[in-house]
């Protein structure tokens, strides 16, 4: 973790002439964006996989209808289908899994009083009035919701809520489109109706996480989720050639 602490500190030193007392907070944002930029090729591959799964949804539903009473045969048939299309049902999970170690490093870095046997000096940095090592409960204990520290969290929560709402709307559209891809109600994927109701709400879970982790980790979360929302909107935009293909009668 000391290597990661050194990396964040170096970013902060480089950004200090521009951001002054906010340099550490800016460094966390910069490190987060650097990580997400490095993961962009994986995210592009995941987006292609998601589009492929949406395209294959009617065929998957048909396989479920034909082999629903034979789990082993269904598993093999679906594996053959995904292999033939050069995709995977889990392709979209890889970027998220790769990000988890970075989030946990950020969490432990700003939760530990010492780094490499030395006092953790990073805990002394702030974002406006709120120390990066504090949690929302600490802000509530020092001035309440509308205190100097509490206002910092209110701003953070507002950004997270806005991004979560946008993600929620887009997720509902995406899941509804996947459900509509089934050629008949009998071919719909089991549990899809329940999934449509629950899955979009998961985007608001970031609000709960940001309220209980150190402010530095919450800052990582808001930067990463905002990046994700913008990145997904760009990668899943309807391209001109797709519009043309959709306009051509079958």
What is residue 201's predicted lDDT score, i.e. its pLDDT? 73
Residue 13: its pLDDT value, please? 93
Mean pLDDT of the chain: 79
Residue 231 has pLDDT above 60, yes or no: yes
Q: Which residue has the higher pLDDT, 131 or 172?
A: 131
Quote the percentage of the chain above a pLDDT of 70. Answer: 78
Using only the alpha carbons of the chain, give its radius of gyration: 22
Of 194 and 211, the one with more pLDDT: 211
Q: Are 249 and 54 in contact (CB under 8 A)?
A: no
Matching residue, tokens 């559209």: 173
**pLDDT greater at residue 17 or residue 96:** 17
Per-residue pLDDT band at 199 (split at 50, 70, 90): low
Q: What is the pLDDT of residue 170?
A: 81
- Whole-model pTM: value is 0.74
pLDDT for residue 42: 80
Q: How confident is the model at residue 192 (pLDDT cuts 50, 70, 90)?
A: very low
Q: What CA–CA distance (Å, rounded) separates 230 from 221?
A: 14
Which 3 state secondary structure label does DSSP give 238?
coil
**Among the residues of 39-93, which ranges form H helices?**
40-67, 71-84
Sign of CA dihedral 71, 186, 62, 78: negative
Question: Could you give the 3-state DSSP secondary structure of residue 131?
Answer: strand
Buried b (16+ CB within 10 A) or exposed e, 147-178: bebbbbbeebbeebeebbebbbebbeebbeeb
Find all residues with CB under 8 Å of 165, minimum gap 6, and list them: 203
The span from the CA of 250 to the CA of 248, in Å, is: 6
Does position 58 have pLDDT exceeding 60, yes or no? yes
Cβ proximity of 46 and 148 under 8 Å: no
* 67-113 per-position pLDDT tens digit: 777 788 888 888 888 777 776 666 666 666 777 787 788 778 877 77
Which of 153, 125, 123, 159 lies closest to 139, judged by CA?
153
What pLDDT does residue 197 have? 60
* Residue range 40-54, pLDDT digits in tens: 888 887 777 777 777
Question: Residue ranges of the domains in the chain?
Answer: 2-238
Under a CB-based contact definition with an 8 Å cutoff, are residues 109 and 1 in contact? yes
CA distance linking residue 224 with residue 71, whole number of Å: 38
Tokens of 72: 């082993």
The span from the CA of 146 to the CA of 148, in Å, is: 7
> Is 70 exceeded by the pLDDT of residue 216?
yes
Dist CA 221 CA 206 (whole Å): 7
Question: Could you tell me which residue, 219 or 47, shows the higher pLDDT?
Answer: 219
pLDDT of 246 higher than 50 = no
Please say if the pLDDT value at position 160 is more than 90: yes
**Average pLDDT score over residue span 6-18:** 91
pLDDT digits (tens, 9 = 90+) for 99-158: 778 778 877 887 777 777 777 777 789 999 999 989 999 999 999 999 999 999 999 999
């Amino acid at each position: 973790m000391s290597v990661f602490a050194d990396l964040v500190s170096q970013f902060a030193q480089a950004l200090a002439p521009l951001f002054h007392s906010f340099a550490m907070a800016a460094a966390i944002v910069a490190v987060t964006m650097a990580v997400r930029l490095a993961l962009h090729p994986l995210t592009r591959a995941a987006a292609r996989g998601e589009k492929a799964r949406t395209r294959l949804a009617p065929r998957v539903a048909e396989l479920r209808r034909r082999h629903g009473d034979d789990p082993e045969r269904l598993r093999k048939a679906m594996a053959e289908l995904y292999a033939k299309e050069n995709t995977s049902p889990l392709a979209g999970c890889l970027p998220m899994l790769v990000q988890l170690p970075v989030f946990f490093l950020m969490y432990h870095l700003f939760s530990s009083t010492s780094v490499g046997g030395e006092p953790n000096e990073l805990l002394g940095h702030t974002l406006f009035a709120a120390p990066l090592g504090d949690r929302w409960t600490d802000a509530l204990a020092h001035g309440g919701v509308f205190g100097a520290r509490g206002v910092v969290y209110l701003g953070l929560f507002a950004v997270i809520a806005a991004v979560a709402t946008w993600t929620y709307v887009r997720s509902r559209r995406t899941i509804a489109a996947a459900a509509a891809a089934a050629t008949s109600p009998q071919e719909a994927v089991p549990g899809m109706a329940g999934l449509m109701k629950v899955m979009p709400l998961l985007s608001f879970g970031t609000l709960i996480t940001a309220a209980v982790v150190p402010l530095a980790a919450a800052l990582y979360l808001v930067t990463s989720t905002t990046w994700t929302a913008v990145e997904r909107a760009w990668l899943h935009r309807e391209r001109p050639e797709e519009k043309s293909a959709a306009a051509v009668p079958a």
